[in-house]
Every structure is written in structure tokens, then in C-alpha cells.
Amino acid sequence: MKTRRIIVTLASALLASCYTPPAIERAPELAGNYVLDPAHTSVVWRVSHVGISNYTARFDDINGTLFFDPLAPENSRVDIIIDPNSVSTGDNKFDETIAEGGNYFNVGKYPQIRFISTSIQITGDNTGLIMGNLTFRGQTKPLVLDTVFNGAGKSFGHKGKTLGFSATGTFLRSDFGLTTLRGLGIGDEINLQIETEFNEN
């Protein structure tokens, strides 16, 4: 029994050294530059499929940077780059069609999707609107991300501070010249769901 207590104590101490619950207070020491953690980031997109369901897919290759100003978060900046060739629908053959097809992402001509913030509007203690420019298929259009700051803490496998965010946004694919099957029941509006962590640089 004593040995078991010792093991539990050691395990608890190890866990405590690897993880702390997130705090949404924007402490001054959180200021600085952060790098996106691709292992704990997802960009999921949905589009109406003939009104019967929302077809859902994601991107697997994402990187980016964040400058975070906790005392004046409206001064923060984010720059995200997605490899469109990493699209994942659950069907490998269709992934290739979407990524490489000239009527779809056409990665040979447009090898990246990029979002760069231009301004931030604070809407609550831990919420805000991130306004920025989305570049997709060679065209750049404005995009607004409704964002929640999930807090700052210490994550597994990283020695520094980690910030977490959730965000949603919508845009029309036709604004970027992507109109394939739009008249045959495939929706125009794309809904985004983003979950991400940034590690102290």
C-alpha cells in the first residue's frame, strides 16, 4: 500500500510539472511571440451537400505565428498558412481530386491558403473578432473569425507557456472563383471551425 502511495504521488508530481489548467486572465507575462502547434490544431470546413447534410473535411498541414499582447489584445497579430494539398475528406481518391483538380483547389498553381489578421475587435473578457485577409486560389478577400480565448497554461510536451483559441467563420467559395457543382446542390457558403494552440517561441 505504501509503495502504491509513493507511485501515485510521483505520478501526480510529474503530471503537475507537465500540465496546468488554463487561466483566461490575460497576465502581462503572456506577452510575446508564439508558434502554432500543428499537433493540436484543426481547421474543419463544412458545406451543404444538396441540403441533406453538411459535407465535412479538414486540413492536416497547418503552421503559423502569433504575437500576443495580453494588456491590449487588439494589438495582437496572427499569420496562418495551410497546405491545401493536406485536405482530408476520409476518401483518399477524392482528396486528390479536390487538391489537384483545376476546378477545385488546384494546388499546382495555388500551393497555399493564408490568413493574415489586419485588426481585432474585443467583444468580451475572452472573446473577440479577428478581421483579416484570406488568400485562397490566388485571390484575397476579407474574413472575420469569431474567436474565443480558451486560456493560457502549460501543455503536455512543451516547456513554455501555451495559449488556446477556438474560432468560427464563414465565406462564399464563389468569391474565390470556386463554383464547381454550385448549381447542382453543393452549397456556396463554407463554414469554418478552428481549434488551435500556440506555444511560446
What string of DSSP letters covers 58-108? EES-EEEEEEE-SSSGGG-EEEEEE-GGGEE-S-HHHHHHHHH-TTTT-TT
Which residue type, as a one-letter code, is found at position 61? D
Express each pLDDT in 27-78 by its tens digit. 889 999 999 999 999 999 999 999 999 999 999 999 999 999 999 999 999 9
Question: Structural domains in the chain?
Answer: 22-200 (2.40.128.110)
DSSP 13: H
With a CB cutoff of 8 Å and minimum separation 6, the contacts of 65 are: 33, 34, 35, 36, 78, 79, 201
Q: Is residue 81's pLDDT more than 80? A: yes
Regarding pTM above 0.85, the answer is yes
